[in-house]
Amino acid sequence: EAGVVQSPRYKIIEKKQPVAFWCNPISGHNTLYWYLQNLGQGPELLIRYENEEAVDDSQLPKDRFSAERLKGVDSTLKIQPAELGDSAVYLCASSQIGADTQYFGPGTRLTVL
């Protein structure tokens, strides 16, 4: 069974540029999560989807961050414009709906110069 797929794995951009990350969850997993992980910290939830509905986006900085999961499968997280402080690893995870075990993708390491 394929795991959670994310792309790109690495991204370097200049501040004020836009950037987008893509995630494809494990097949059959209806719940998808985006996390931000700063160096030396645990992951912090940005947004959770159940199918195509964002059920928890309270921690998403909506002035510059947006996300979508239009068909309830893969998802895109966007930052526009990026700031220096956005440099971090962006992790995607998925789980079966109603289940409490999450499986993480490899992450996208973003560097904003």
Q: Any contact of residue 97 with another protein (CB under 8 A)?
A: yes
Q: C-beta of 71: minimal distance to another protein in Å?
A: 21
Residue type, 8: P
Q: Any contact of residue 105 with another protein (CB under 8 A)?
A: yes
Site string for another protein, 53-92 (x = CB under 8 A): ---x----------------------------------x-
Q: What pairs with residue 77 in β-bridges?
A: 21, 67
Q: Considering beta carbons, is residue 5 or 13 the nearer one to another protein?
A: 5
DSSP type of residue 102? -
Give Cα 52 to chain centroid, integer Å. Answer: 14
**Exposure string for 63-88, b = 16+ CB within 10 A, e = fewer:** eebbbebeeeeebebebeebeeebbb
Q: Any contact of residue 106 with another protein (CB under 8 A)?
A: yes
- Report d(CA 26, CA 29) in Å as an integer: 6
Q: Considering beta carbons, is residue 81 or 106 the nearer one to another protein?
A: 106
Q: C-beta of 32: minimal distance to another protein in Å?
A: 11
Q: C-beta of 108: minimal distance to another protein in Å?
A: 10
